[in-house]
Amino acid sequence: MSRIGKKEIVLSKQISVEIKQNIITIKGPKGQLQQNISKNIQVVEQNDGNINKLVINTLVDSPASRSLHGLSRTLINNMIIGVSEGFTKDLEIRGVGYRSQMDARNLVLNVGYSHPVILPAPKGIDIKVENNTRIIVSGINKELVGQIAAKIRAVRPPEPYKGKGIRYQNENVKKKIGKAGK
């Protein structure tokens, strides 16, 4: 059995869980998320006094169901954290003349190309720009927040010589030594 899969998930009072067949729906103060769960995984809601818990079990002892055990628990836990607290990713822009701004729901990046790069924010994701060089991506779906942050970073990843580009907050970029002059 998976060590992660065996851990119980403790639910707060403000979170409600609905399990129908193999679809789990979690509602909280920030919104609602749904996830399909494998048919080999069983999610059980338990009530011990005042404490509500979710327990994830495997129905079939096969390598496929064992590998999905920990994954299912982590996905459900991320959904619970998302609807209660939310997730954020911070990016920073480094480089002379590199800047960003918001235009309605679109992120406009000026990062050294001959044209500005426009990235629309999908539904459920909030993008904020501070000081033209700091971008904050937030939302309730951890996967979507990470994907959008990766798309923004991919527009101009940090280059290894001067470190110019878009990077995650506190990301350590290894710099190379330049050409040796005579």
What's 70's domain CATH number? 3.90.930.12
Regions of the chain short of the pLDDT cut 70: 1, 181-182
pLDDT score of 181: 64
Are 98 and 70 within one domain?
Answer: no
How many domains, the chain?
2
Full domain range(s) for residue 93: 87-168
* Residue 109 within any structural domain of the chain: yes
- Amino acid in position 46: Q
Q: In what order do the strands lie in the sheet with 51-58?
A: 9-11, 51-58, 41-48
Closest among 2, 143, 5 to 74, alpha carbons compared: 5
* Residue 42 within any structural domain of the chain: yes
pLDDT score of 21: 85
Are 128 and 154 within one domain?
Answer: yes
Three-class secondary structure assignment of the chain: CCHHHHCCEEECCCCEEEEECCEEEEEECCEEEEEECCCCEEEEEEEECCEEEEEEEECCCCHHHHHHHHHHHHHHHHHHHHHHCCEEEEEEEECCCCEEEEECCEEEEECCCCCCEEEECCCCEEEEEECCCEEEEEECCHHHHHHHHHHHHHHCCCCCCCCCEEEECCCCCCCCCCCCCC
Give the residue from 28, 53, 84 where a domain finishes.
84
Give the residue from 84, 116, 139 where a domain finishes.
84
